[in-house]
A and B are shown apart, each in its own frame.
Chain A
Amino acid sequence: MTRPVPGTGTRLREVHAEWTKLRTAPGTLWTVLALVAVTVATSAAASALVSCPSSGCGHDAVRIGLAGVQAGQAVTAVAAVLAITGEYGTGMIRATFTAMPRRGAVLAAKAVVVAGLTLASGTVAVLGSLLAARLVLPHSGFTPEHGFPPLSLADGPTLRAAAGSVLYLALIALFSLGVATAVRDSAAAAGVVLGLLYALAAVPFVMVPDPDWQLLLWRISPMNAGLAVQSTANLSALPLTPWQGVAVLTAWTAASLLLAALLLRRRDA
């Protein structure tokens, strides 16, 4: 009572199944469109609202042009949360683990497809943001006369900021997936993720007067540290170098996925 196995090797079956799930979920297309639209629109708005009236105004044009990532990451985070909590909410998780009993492999497969889709849509969003900023920023005073040549990926730091922003979005997606797998409830998981991102980024400046604590909290905040990769000006003033910042966010992501894997293994589905 068996039939021949066409195609996929056993190793990649979990990835194949998770990809089929993701692409046939009705929300996926809207998520991709929302990420691109929110990111590009916010970047364009930031580029239009900021102004550089004189030479050497001290702004980081690249960072302004990529400001939409701070809004777009919320779309990515919520979509990644729903990728797993949607299954817990409907009970479909039991069908998933019945079909694929290796839970660690299921989590890894989800991570692969969610990160892959985020990298692809994030690339579009980031390139769209840079293009919009390149068109809008000169009208806000970011002109060659004021020391701002047009944004270009041929510029090393700009390329690093752009690629780093795409990577940042993918890491946020994975971080959210890990937290959501541990928490299992959509609203609670979205609250935890967005809280850790936005609140932890703002708290040091609002509630902590001590500069040493402010510095520490800035360094361990996944959003502040992770977005250091967008900086192209005054790098020496940053508490962390761009890639150190990425490392902090990577540590958060690794910790959340590890916790998720441990809990998945131990808990009844």
Chain B
Amino acid sequence: MIEVSGLRKRYGQTMALDGMSFTVTPGRVTGFVGPNGAGKSTTMRVILGLDAADGGHALVGGRPYRSLRSPLRHLGALLDAAALHPGRTARHHLLWLAHSQGLGVRRVDEVIELVGLAPVARRRAGGFSLGMRQRLGIAAALLGDPPALMLDEPVNGLDPEGVVWIRGLLRSLAAEGRAVLVSSHLMSELQDTADHLVVVGRGRVVADTGVAELIEAASGGRVRLRTAEPAAAMDALARAGAVVAATGAGTVTVSGLVSERVVAVLGGSGVPFSEVAAHRATLEEAYMELTGDSVEFRAGLRASGSSRSSGSSGSWGDGR
């Protein structure tokens, strides 16, 4: 379990963390999302004791990280996959980490096997692709078999096979009862991975909610209707008290009526239709809904996304 409470951190003029508080509970994947510069990486560095917070505290299993004697057995972290000596082999990189935790070479070979690096374990890490480095970083995070894991943008730069692999790994780690925190600046990345979301902007939490609840709320009991005669359908439904909107060629979104009523009304009016389904919002739509009235957060979006501020929804730029 990871608990973050009231973290504050200022770098010069920039308020990086401004009362960041949330909890990562065992047995589920918690997505940590927000635009670049929202404070995700800083929060992770503070949790790991790399940066000192100006206020508040972060606890891992109820204790400050820096007080842990074998920290990798409590929390495994992947912050920056490139942060290793390029001349050392993957196996030797893991070996010194293992020795720092009182672990032996057997555990090193286990995690190498686990992340699929066995064929290249004795090669220098400097020659690794980004995907291989990510795997090596994940091997390091898993080294101490920790009950909590924290990964900063783990799918960045991975090929599709790697992305699928990471998603499956995160799911299975959570299923084993571990607390998993995974950050991303892309909502869509977390759609099928996270159970819970901590949405951040400008150094504080904007929303702390379950993924299912968030999508449920954003879907708002709307019904999507596919029909060859949208005008007649809209007319009939409006008369029945629904709020209707044409959302595409032959598609109408209906709110205020459950799908059974929609079917009955259309049937009664003799309007043909090919499909009536509950509208399911995407995580990105849910996110836009969520932050639609958060003026300050939108300002934060603009401030951080220089080139992409007017770009497609849910993507706030690259890197950190």
| Residues in A lying within 8 Å of B, measured CB to CB | 1-3, 5-8, 10, 13-14, 16-18, 20-21, 24-27, 86-87, 90-95, 97-102, 268-269
A150 to B290, CA, bound (A): 88
Write out the residue numbers on chain B whose beta carbons fall within 8 Å of the beta carbon of A102.
66
List of A residues within 8 angstroms of B124 by Cβ: 26
Contact A3 B96, beta carbon cutoff 8 Å: no
Whether A1 contacts B146 by the Cβ 8 Å rule is yes
Measured CA separation A109–B85 after assembly (Å) = 18
Within 8 Å of chain A (Cβ to Cβ): is B304? no
The dominant DSSP class at the B interface is loop
Residues of B within 8 A of A6 (CB): 102-104
Residues in B with CB closer than 8 Å to A21 are 85, 88, 96
Check: B73 CB closer than 8 A to any chain A CB.
yes
Interchain CB contact under 8 A, A25 and B85: yes
- Taken together as a complex, chains A and B put the C-alpha atoms of A7 and B48 apart, in Å, by 26
Contact residues, B3-59 vs A (CB, 8 A): 45, 48-52
Q: Roughly how many angstroms separate A98 CA and B102 CA in the complex, as a whole number?
A: 15
Those 4 A-B pairs whose CB atoms lie nearest each other, nearest first: A91-B83, A17-B100, A24-B92, A20-B96
Question: Is the pair B49, A97 in contact by a Cβ cutoff of 8 Å?
Answer: yes
Partner of B87, one of A13, A26, A101: A26
Residues in B whose Cβ lies below 8 Å from that of A86 = 85
Set A18, A24, A269: member contacting B89, Cβ < 8 A: A24
CB-based contact B100/A5 at 8 Å: no
Decide if B147 is an interface residue (CB 8 Å cutoff).
yes
The distance in angstroms between the C-alpha atoms of A175 and B258, with both chains bound, is 77
Whole-angstrom distance between the Cβ of B45 and the nearest chain A Cβ:
7
Whether A24 contacts B88 in the complex (CB less than 8 A), given A3-B145, A94-B83, A98-B50, comes out as yes
Q: How large is the interface on B (under 10, 10 to 19, 20 to 34, 35 or more residues)?
A: 35 or more
What are 21 sample pairs from A and B whose C-beta atoms fall under 8 A apart?
Answer: A1-B73, A1-B147, A1-B178, A3-B145, A6-B102, A14-B100, A16-B100, A17-B99, A17-B100, A24-B89, A26-B88, A90-B82, A90-B84, A94-B79, A99-B71, A99-B97, A101-B65, A101-B68, A102-B66, A269-B45, A269-B50
Beyond A94-B80, A99-B72, whether A24 also contacts B102 by CB under 8 A is: no
CB neighbours of B239 from chain A (8 A) = none
How distant is the Cα of A8 from the Cα of B84 in the complex, in angstroms? 24
Contact B83 A95 (CB under 8 A): yes
Per the bound structure, the CA–CA distance linking A102 and B107 in Å amounts to: 23
Q: A3-B103, A26-B87 are in contact. List 9 more A-B contacts (CB 8 A).
A: A7-B102, A8-B99, A14-B100, A24-B96, A95-B84, A97-B48, A98-B79, A99-B72, A101-B49
Docked complex Cα distance between A5 and B77 (Å): 21
Kindly report which residue of chain A lies nearest to residue B82, judged by CB atoms: A91
Is residue B200 contacting chain A, with contact meaning CB distance below 8 A? Answer: no
Instruction: Give chain A residues whose Cβ lies under 8 Å from the Cβ of B139.
Output: none
Residues of chain A with a CB closer than 8 A to B107's CB: 3
Decide: B50 and A25 in contact? CB cutoff 8 A.
no
Residue of B nearest to A100 (CB): B100
Contact B50 A20 (CB under 8 A): no
B95 within 8 A of A: yes
Asked whether, in the complex, the Cβ of A92 is within 8 Å of the Cβ of B83, the reply is: yes
Decide yes or no whether B174 CB sits under 8 A from chain A: no
Which residues of chain A have C-beta atoms less than 8 A from B70's C-beta?
10
Nearest A-chain residue to B86, judged by Cβ: A90
Q: Is A268 a contact partner of B92 (Cβ separation < 8 A)?
A: no
State whether B50 touches A7 (Cβ < 8 A). Answer: no
Q: Name the residue of chain A whose CB is nearest to the CB of B79.
A: A94
When distances are taken between beta carbons in the complex, the residues of chain B under 8 Å from A91 are 80, 82-84
Tell me if A87 and B99 are in contact (CB < 8 A). Answer: no
Query: A residues within 8 A CB of B79?
Result: 94, 98
Q: Restricting to B184-207, which residues have a CB under 8 Å from any CB of A?
A: none
Contact partner of B145 (CB less than 8 A), chosen from A1, A18, A98, A101, is A1
**Is B99 in contact with A16, judged by CB distance below 8 angstroms?**
yes
> Which of A10, A16, A20, A98 gathers most chain B CB within 10 Å?
A98
Nearest opposing residue in chain A for B69, CB measure? A10
Give the chain A neighbours of B103 by CB distance below 8 A: 3, 5-6
Docked-complex contact A17 and B96, CB < 8 angstroms = yes
